[in-house]
């Protein structure tokens, strides 16, 4: 009896130890300056894994190399006197980005792109973006007047909501100047510039064809096309909708979000003459909880071939 009880107690203890070991949060932090992709700069000896429970702290100068796309699936903080985050490639943060209060900074080079899908906050920091660089925040933006910002050339700064705090509109000076607000990841509602949409879309959806062929009925009252398989390399549930006149700006939705699993034929009952159409793909947890990013595939329509008699 005692032996049985001892085995039972030991089983519980080992189960608790295993649960703690496998459920604990991993804290990633920089131990040295260098490239994000360099294992030796991280205190964990490996770059942050794609795990939503991770936390990432940048306490040393860190660089995203040109041509690289880095996705952080957690909140990221920059903390340390004068610590800089240099973005020459693409950094997508599926969480918040917060800067400390000790002159930490962000430098976005030409061709660099910083995408924050959570909230952004800065207080007494440095921020610079070169012409040809991009900065997008989907959540709230809070910046104090002590944050020094420099924008060179065209300002590719886009927010979904207007920022909170002191935010002058000059090219240099306090705050973060020259922003554009009200932009969204929805192609039918004040969409973001193509480079940002492409970066987010490539992070979420994979659609092989660049165009979809469609056929107009002989009586011009409908058209049929095949929705391509977009499941490759994409997790979560897939959704699509068809956009009429997206390319001409009227942005009329002809089909609402519909769950999608694999390629399928679709017929639209309307005269397509004079219109253009696209299929837009999304990923999400449900129709009411779509994730940022999309892939748009234009539909190329042609008339039904006619038949006739060939004579010699």
23-79 per-position pLDDT tens digit: 345 667 788 899 988 888 888 777 776 555 567 888 899 999 998 888 887 788 998
Whole-number Å distance between alpha carbons of 65 and 238: 31
Cα-only R_g, the chain:
25
Confirm if 170 and 149 have CB atoms less than 8 A apart: no
Q: Which pTM does this prediction carry?
A: 0.63
Q: What is the pLDDT of residues 162-175, one digit of tens each?
A: 778 765 444 443 44
**Which residues are registered as beta bridge partners of 224?**
215, 267
As a whole-number percent, the residues of the chain with pLDDT over 90 amount to: 17
Per-residue pLDDT, averaged over 110-138, amounts to 89
pLDDT of 303 higher than 60? yes
Q: Based on the number of CB atoms within 10 Å of its own CB, is 217 exposed (0-12), middle (13-18) or buried (19 or more)?
A: middle
Q: Please tell me the number of Cα atoms within 13 Å of 153 on its side-chain side.
A: 10
Cβ neighbours of 274 (radius 10 Å): 7
Q: pLDDT by residue (tens digit) across 224-243? A: 998 887 766 555 678 888 88
At 305 the pLDDT is 67
Q: Are 47 and 91 in contact (CB under 8 A)?
A: no
Count of other CB atoms within 10 angstroms of residue 271: 14
Strand order in 84-87's β-sheet?
A: 34-35, 62-64, 84-87, 105-108, 126-129, 148-151, 172-174
Q: What is the full DSSP assignment across the chain?
A: -HHHHHHHHHHHHHHHHHHHHHHPPPEEEBSSSEETT-GGGBTTSSPPPS-TT-EEEE-S-EEEPTT-EEEE-S-EEE-STT-EEEESSEEEESS-EEE-SSS-EEEE-TT-EEEESS-EEESS-EEEE-TT-EEEESS-EEE-TT-EEEE-SS--EEESS--BS----SSEEES--SEEES-BS-TTSSBPPHHHHHHHHHHH-----S-EEEEE-TTSS-EEEEEPP--TT--SEEEEEEEESGGGT--EESS--EEE-S-EEEEE-S--TT--EEEEEEEEEETTEEPS--EEEEEEEEEPPP------
Q: Are 141 and 119 in contact (CB under 8 A)?
A: yes
- Highest average pLDDT, of 35-44, 103-112, 275-284, comes from 103-112
Neighbouring C-alpha atoms within 13 Å toward the C-beta of 249: 0
126 φ/ψ angles, rounded to the nearest 5 degrees: -120, 140
225-256 CB burial, b ≥16 within 10 A, e <16: bbbbbbbeeeeebbbbbbbbebeeeebeeeee
> How is residue 25 written in tokens?
């949060």
How much is the pLDDT for 115?
Answer: 93
pLDDT score for 65 = 93
């Amino acid at each position: 009896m005692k032996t049985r009880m001892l085995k039972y107690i030991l089983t519980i203890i080992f189960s608790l130890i295993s649960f703690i070991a496998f459920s604990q949060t991993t804290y990633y932090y920089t131990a040295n300056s260098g490239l994000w992709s360099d294992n030796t700069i991280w205190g964990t000896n490996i770059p942050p894994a794609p795990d939503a429970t991770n936390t990432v702290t940048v306490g040393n100068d860190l660089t995203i190399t040109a041509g690289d796309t880095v996705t952080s699936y957690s909140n990221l903080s920059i903390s340390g006197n004068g610590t800089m985050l240099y973005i020459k490639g693409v950094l997508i943060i599926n969480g918040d980005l917060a800067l400390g209060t000790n002159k930490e900074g962000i430098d976005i080079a030409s061709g660099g792109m910083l995408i924050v899908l959570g909230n952004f906050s800065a207080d007494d920091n440095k921020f610079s973006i070169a012409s040809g660089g991009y900065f997008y925040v989907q959540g709230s933006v809070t910046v104090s007047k002590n944050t020094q910002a420099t924008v060179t050339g065209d300002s590719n700064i886009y927010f979904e909501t207007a920022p909170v705090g002191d935010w002058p509109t000059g090219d240099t000076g306090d705050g973060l100047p020259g922003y554009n607000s009200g932009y969204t990841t929805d192609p039918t509602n004040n969409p973001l510039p193509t480079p940002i949409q492409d970066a987010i879309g490539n992070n979420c959806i994979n659609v092989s064809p660049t165009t979809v062929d469609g056929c107009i009925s002989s009586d011009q009252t409908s058209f049929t096309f095949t929705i391509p398989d977009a499941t490759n390399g994409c997790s979560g549930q897939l959704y699509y909708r068809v956009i009429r006149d997206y390319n001409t700006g009227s942005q009329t939705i002809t089909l609402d979000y519909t769950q999608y699993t694999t390629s399928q034929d679709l017929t639209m009952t309307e005269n397509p003459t004079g219109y253009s159409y696209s299929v837009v793909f999304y990923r999400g947890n449900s129709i009411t909880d779509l994730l940022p990013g999309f892939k748009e595939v234009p539909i190329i329509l042609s008339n039904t071939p006619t038949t006739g008699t060939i004579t010699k």
